[in-house]
A and B are shown apart, each in its own frame.
Chain A
Amino acid sequence: MHPVLKTVLQRLGLGLLTLFVVSVVIFASLEMLPGGFAEAILGQGATPETVAAFNHQVGLDRPATVRYLEWIWNILHGDFGYSYAGLGGNIKRSVSELIAPRLYNTFFLAIMTAVVAVPLSLFLGIMAALYRNSWYDRIVNTITLTTIATPEFFIAYLLMFFFAIKHRWFYSLSTVSENTPLLEHMYRAALPALTLTLVIVAHMMRMTRASLINLLASPYMEMAQLKGVPRREAIVKHALPNAWAPIATVIAFNLAYLVVGVVVVEVVYVYPGIGQLMVDSVSSRDMPVVQACALIFAATYILLNLSADIVSIVTNPRLLHPK
């Protein structure tokens, strides 16, 4: 087997193991939360008897290990269980049904942001490395550092103020539903995407710049210059291929953030993403939903980090083409 394939499979196996450990941690830590769904839904006036009856109905009176094993067994069969929220009444809502549209919205926003932010930060980073210590470099650094240092809700409100209120170019609220057409969805998600772009560009751009500058002093860059390769070409052709590993790691980290860390932006723009769903579910102690969200977040992190690892292996000829 090719060593790269072997490494990838190894990492994938390790990722599954991590996911399993994470599932235990998620379940255990939610068990430790004070109060339960019954208390939350029945209110403070609930008698112990009604709480017990409710717990029995939902199955919460069984031992935690049994419930964990049942949960994980069902997940392995693609069943995330039912939300507690519908249990009292007649409508049973499955977690997947609840999460699916929210997850779609989150990924929609994440991909839209990534498509803009990743090429933009690479471009800005390469240019900053090319013209380092110039005015361009300083200005880009200052602006990106400012946007990363500003709280994201503040950026969100500023953008909303300028682009939705002063100039009515965009909506101030990004409400979308399953029936929103694609272009309309993109239009409505534009401001949140712009906000997130401003938040993540600095990190990726600075890493691109730093990794490239790190390589500029290497003998093969001097050699490229003495072979008559123009500076711009030298950076793109000779430095960049050797700089992918650290850049990919930072990109993966930021893409993961786009999926798991955007709840603030979602709330400000009232964008129906998975972050909002999770926060709502935590406050109502709707454990099946919280657990499913947390597991999805963990899987996102693991997968993105795995892709970053693969990029660093594939861009390293020493690993890709062993002796």
Chain B
Amino acid sequence: MKSDTQHDTQRVKGADLLQIRGLKIEGNSDGVWHPIVKGVDLTLKRGEVLGLIGESGAGKSTIGLAAMGFARPGCRIVDGTIMFDGIDLRTASEAEKRKLWGARIAYVAQSAAAAFNPAHKLIDQTIETAVRDGIRTKDQAVADSIDLYRRLQLPNPDHIGDRYPHQVSGGQLQRAMTAMAMSCRPDLIIFDEPTTALDVTTQVEVLAAMRNIVEQFHTAAIYITHDLAVVAQMADRIMVLRHGLEVEEAPTREMLKEPKKDYTKTLWAVRSLAKDESISDDVTLSIRNVDASYSGVVKVLDNVTVSLPRGRTVAVVGESGSGKSTLARAITGLLPPSKGEILFNGKALPKALKDRDKDTLRRIQMIYQSADTSLNPKQTIRDIIGRPLEFYHGVHGAARDRRVAELLDSIELNENYIDRLPTELSGGQKQRISIARALAAQPDIIICDEVTSALDQIVQEEILTLLMKLQKDTNVSYLFITHDIATVRAISDEIVVMHRGKVVQQGPKSQVLNPPHPAYTELLLSSVPQMDPDWLTNLLAARAEAKAKV
């Protein structure tokens, strides 16, 4: 066994740990190999954290895995060298790489819930590599893991390891995975979007825990994310990637202060999208004291009162489990409320979907988060957008096609798309089609459930801009469900903050986003990462201070 002190003395800060030169990776789709990474150079020194940032398809995860000498099935490394501490990972045998993996290079995956084996206890998975490689005995490894759990501020560190993955929360799992990666004291950890699946309030704790432990053990890391503000907290240097190529690379502060390339500047610009709020008293939908529950036991909505003015946008914001999507289900009649009433244009809305007439159905439309699953892959755009035209408005044949073309025009797509299938379109284009399908009914209200969450930032901005334009043209009201504060800032007139099924606060945007806040709103808003590299440090200090006062 190597002791920690010995291990530490071996490390010389500043020496190169990882050198990637001319890395080219290809991916296979439908039997054709096409380039994913097109020649990337990367150098990482011991104890240094490099942030890899880019949109989906930039190749950042692929590069992260290649830094371990690994390519996912369907991918292959075709050119370049990957030198890890004097070992060429491209020519190393599987057995040689296996000795490095887990022991000297560790991986932290995006979804801890999926990356932990559901059949084994956390502790057994944490110590697996250390024990198998003979780095520690089982008892030593268990004791060490408990120490790591404690350093990572997991609750009840002595016993949390005896739990199975499904028994702990997502944020705790992500920290347990960091402990697992740390258990052999690796030289390098690859963090692959480790906080993307977490709520902002949880993200703060996880980021702080990961940053601490990497600093404590002086571990080099590659931190992969699409979120600039997050990477600003974690990385010493940032590399921006696009389409498998490096755009630019610089130390974090330098990069944030003055990005050189236009592409980087556009990444920065998205977050500044904002519209002026406009308040109206002309309420179209009024939800009054609504309770709803799936099992009949636990209330998912608890005495919820929300009103939606005509031609305005109300953003419903909250963490997962706050009941915001359930609110949408209650409004659409998919989950009839157990108590309370919903008034629509002054009249009571029948609770259950089947009791509503066609005209009421037409007036309330919905757009979902995933256009991939909400658009039928076997139907052409003509059928997808044409269906509500036929169903609600009785428009058929050439008249319908004309109307579909108009709708395509309004969502800024060429009318040639009419005969395409959803699979031929990009993520942003698919979401546009979802919007057109909702608009085709000429609704009074569109409920948007996390419609931009799965999209890249630049595409998000385009979709949000489009939604705002459409609102101006058609005076439609949006109930905009999201967990992302930047999106809220961009699109809303009013904001509803939800927490554990209750409405914490509703009011005009300027009022909700500016102090004084109720405690939960304060927690939520302060947890949103800022583009300031000192944000996390300052936030933690401020919270510690506030705690000390109490």
Interface residues of B, CB < 8 Å — how many? 30
The answer to the question of B116 belonging to the interface, with a C-beta cut-off of 8 Å to chain A, is: yes
A228 touches B115 (CB 8 A): no
Residue on B nearest A322 in the bound complex, by CB? B167
Q: Which of these, B68, B70, B101, B115, contacts A220 with CB under 8 Å?
A: B115
How far, in angstroms, from A242 to B101 measured CA to CA in the complex? 23
Q: Which of B98, B117, B118, B132 counts the most chain A CB atoms within 10 A? A: B117
Interface code B71-112, partner A: CB below 8 Å = 1, 0 otherwise?
011000000000000000000000000111111001101010
The answer to the question of B120 belonging to the interface, with a C-beta cut-off of 8 Å to chain A, is: yes
A317 touches B166 (CB 8 A): yes
How far, in angstroms, from A115 to B100 measured CA to CA in the complex? 41
B72 touches A226 (CB 8 A): no
B117 touches A224 (CB 8 A): yes
User: Of residues 302 to 323 in A, which have CB atoms within 8 Å of B's CB atoms?
Assistant: 315, 317-318, 321, 323
B166 touches A323 (CB 8 A): yes
CB distance from A240 to the nearest CB of B (A): 9
The answer to the question of B164 belonging to the interface, with a C-beta cut-off of 8 Å to chain A, is: yes
A226 touches B102 (CB 8 A): yes
The answer to the question of B548 belonging to the interface, with a C-beta cut-off of 8 Å to chain A, is: no
The answer to the question of B297 belonging to the interface, with a C-beta cut-off of 8 Å to chain A, is: no
> Within 8 Å CB of A321, what residues of B?
163-164, 167
B102 touches A241 (CB 8 A): no
> Within 8 Å CB of B118, what residues of A?
220, 242, 317-318
The answer to the question of B286 belonging to the interface, with a C-beta cut-off of 8 Å to chain A, is: no
Question: Given A223-B109, A323-B166, does the pair A229, B128 have CB atoms closer than 8 Å?
Answer: yes
Q: What is the interface of chain A mostly: helix, strand, loop, or mixed? A: helix
> Within 8 Å CB of B68, what residues of A?
226
Interface code B150-165, partner A: CB below 8 Å = 1, 0 otherwise?
0000000000000110
Residue on B nearest A223 in the bound complex, by CB? B115
How far, in angstroms, from A315 to B166 measured CA to CA in the complex? 14
CB distance from B387 to the nearest CB of A (A): 35
The answer to the question of A218 belonging to the interface, with a C-beta cut-off of 8 Å to chain B, is: yes
Interface code B230-244, partner A: CB below 8 Å = 1, 0 otherwise?
000000000000000
Question: Given A223-B107, A241-B119, A242-B119, does the pair A228, B114 have CB atoms closer than 8 Å?
Answer: no
> Within 8 Å CB of B119, what residues of A?
238, 241-242, 315, 317
User: Of residues 206 to 238 in A, which have CB atoms within 8 Å of B's CB atoms?
Assistant: 217-220, 222-230, 238
A229 touches B132 (CB 8 A): yes
User: Of residues 21 to 79 in A, which have CB atoms within 8 Å of B's CB atoms?
Assistant: none
User: Of residues 161 to 193 in B, which have CB atoms within 8 Å of A's CB atoms?
Assistant: 163-164, 166-167, 180
Q: Which of these, B99, B111, B117, contacts A238 with CB under 8 Å?
A: B117
> Within 8 Å CB of A323, what residues of B?
166-167
How far, in angstroms, from A224 to B167 measured CA to CA in the complex? 20
CB distance from B309 to the nearest CB of A (A): 41
Interface residues of A, CB < 8 Å — how many? 21
CB distance from A93 to the nearest CB of B (A): 52
How far, in angstroms, from A323 to B164 measured CA to CA in the complex? 9
Question: Given A218-B114, A315-B119, does the pair A227, B72 have CB atoms closer than 8 Å?
Answer: no
The answer to the question of B133 belonging to the interface, with a C-beta cut-off of 8 Å to chain A, is: yes
> Within 8 Å CB of B99, what residues of A?
228
CB distance from A320 to the nearest CB of B (A): 9
The answer to the question of B129 belonging to the interface, with a C-beta cut-off of 8 Å to chain A, is: yes
Interface code A240-283, partner B: CB below 8 Å = 1, 0 otherwise?
01100000000000000000000000000000000000000000
Q: Which of A226, A317, A323 counts the most chain B CB atoms within 10 A? A: A226
> Within 8 Å CB of B98, what residues of A?
228-230
CB distance from B286 to the nearest CB of A (A): 37
How far, in angstroms, from A228 to B181 measured CA to CA in the complex? 12
Interface code B301-329, partner A: CB below 8 Å = 1, 0 otherwise?
00000000000000000000000000000
CB distance from A266 to the nearest CB of B (A): 40
Interface code B112-155, partner A: CB below 8 Å = 1, 0 otherwise?
00111111100000001100110000000000000000000000
B133 touches A228 (CB 8 A): yes
A220 touches B128 (CB 8 A): no
Could you name 21 residue pairs across A and B whose Cβ atoms are closer than 8 Å? Answer: A217-B73, A219-B114, A219-B115, A220-B117, A222-B72, A222-B115, A223-B109, A223-B116, A227-B101, A228-B100, A228-B129, A228-B132, A229-B98, A229-B132, A238-B119, A242-B119, A317-B119, A318-B118, A318-B164, A318-B166, A323-B167
Q: Please give the residue numbers on chain A whose beta carbons come within 8 Å of chain B beta carbons, in ascending order.
A: 217-220, 222-230, 238, 241-242, 315, 317-318, 321, 323
Apart from A220-B114, A222-B109, A229-B132, what 20 extra A-B contacts exist at CB < 8 Å?
Answer: A217-B73, A219-B114, A220-B116, A223-B116, A226-B101, A227-B102, A227-B128, A227-B180, A228-B98, A228-B101, A228-B102, A228-B103, A228-B129, A228-B133, A229-B128, A230-B98, A315-B119, A321-B163, A321-B167, A323-B166
